Copies of this chain bind each other. A is one copy, B any other.
Amino acid sequence: MTVRHASSRLEVEVSAPAHLVFSVAVSSDYPDIEEELTFRVGDREVEAEELIAPSGSRLHRIREAPVGTLHVDYRATVASPSPEAEIQGIDEILYTRPSRYCDSDRLANLSHTHFAGLTGYELMSAVTQWVRTKVTYRPGSSRVVDGALETYLSRAGVCRDSAHLVVAFLRGLNMPARLVSVYAPGLRPMDFHAVAEAYHDGRWYLLDATGLAPRQPMVRICTGRDAADTAFMTTLGGRTRLTRLAVDASVDGDLPYDDRFSFVTLT
Contacts and interface: CB of A to CB of B under 8 A. Distances in A.
A201 interface: no
B98 A228 contact: yes
B100 A234 contact: no
Contacts of A59: 90, 93
Contact of A154 (B19, B97, B143): B143
B144 A174 contact: no
Interface residues of A, number: 39
Contacts of A259: none
A149 B107 CA distance: 12
Interface in A45-80: 49, 51-54, 59, 61
A19 B174 contact: yes
Interface in A90-128: 90, 93-94, 96-100, 103, 105-107, 109-110, 113
A234 B140 contact: no
**How many copies of the shown chain assemble into the complex?**
4
Nearest to A113: B113
B90 A153 contact: no
Contact of A97 (B61, B97, B229): B229
B89 A49 contact: yes
Given A53-B94, A229-B97, A144 B105 contact: yes
Contact of A21 (B93, B110, B113, B228): B93
A237 interface: yes
Interface of A: 19, 21, 49, 51-54, 59, 61, 89-90, 93-94, 96-100, 103, 105-107, 109-110, 113, 140, 143-145, 149, 153-155, 174, 228-229, 234, 236-237
Which 4 pairs across A and B sit closest by C-beta, in order of nearness? A97-B228, A54-B54, A51-B90, A98-B100
Given A19-B174, A99-B99, A106-B153, 11 more contacts: A51-B90, A51-B93, A93-B234, A97-B100, A98-B228, A99-B228, A100-B105, A105-B145, A140-B140, A143-B154, A145-B153
